[in-house]
Amino acid sequence: MIEKFLEGNKSFIEGDFSENRDYYRELASGQKPTVLWIGCSDSRAAPERITGAKSGEIFVHRNIGNIVRVGDWNFATILEYAIKHLKVDDIVICGHSDCGAIKALASDAESDEAYIPLWLSNANQARAELEKTEQKPADPEAQKVWRRKLEEENVKLQIANLRTYPIVREAENAGRVAVHGLYFDLDTGELEKIA
């Protein structure tokens, strides 16, 4: 597989890179993205592909379940760099359909894994919120609809978690940053604003 990627890189150099040499030369001297994108690590939801963005337009942080963990120093450094140094205008949290993390969160089965359940505990409140109004149905087709609601509820929870960081609250209150919740549907390719 690595050979395929190396061949793909050669095609990139011969094509887009050569055709837009001035643009890439400018990128080589520094980045100026306008958006911090917090998305899922799922290989089917690559931000630049689903938005049509060019290299250098999106500063990306991805993890399992597009989670914003409260009090996470690693994540705080991303926020600080994006807001203070890159001066992004927007922060996006993007969820997506058929999310494996949300399937695990929705599952009632015991897990023998050590790290994934611990990480997903940062999204437990999304399920609790949804279950206040709608219990998980037994029917598999109805469960798919319910999981989509859970995927969207998780985006809303992660926005709330994002706003626990003082740097985000201050930038948002000063009008320097806008926060958005997006949802990508793998079946239709559509990206929509949900929060």
Adjacent-strand bridge partners of 191: 184
Strand pairing partners for 193?
182
Domain ranges in the chain are 31-193
Q: What is the pLDDT of residues 122-144, one digit of tens each?
A: 999 999 999 999 999 999 999 99
The one-digit pLDDT tens for each residue of the chain (195 residues) are 899 999 999 999 999 999 999 999 999 999 999 999 999 999 999 999 999 999 999 999 999 999 999 999 999 999 999 999 999 999 999 999 999 999 999 998 888 899 999 999 999 999 999 999 999 999 999 999 999 999 999 999 999 999 999 999 999 999 999 999 999 999 999 999 999
Which CATH fold would you assign to the domain 31-193?
Answer: Beta-carbonic Anhydrase; Chain A (3.40.1050)
Contact 155, 130 (CB under 8 A): no
- Identify the pLDDT of residue 71: 96
The annotation places the binding site for Zn(2+) at 40, 96, 99
Q: What is the 3-state secondary structure (H, E, C) of the chain?
A: CHHHHHHHHHHHHHHHHHHCHHHHHHHHCCCCCCEEEEEECCCCCCHHHHHCCCCCCEEEEEECCCCCCCCCHHHHHHHHHHHHHCCCCEEEEEEECCCHHHHHHHCCCCCCCCCHHHHHHHHHHHHHHHHHHCCCCCCHHHHHHHHHHHHHHHHHHHHHHHCCCHHHHHHHHCCCCEEEEEEECCCCCCEEECC
pTM flag (> 0.75): yes
Supply the pLDDT for residue 108: 85
Q: What does the pLDDT read at residue 183?
A: 98
Binding residues: 40, 96, 99
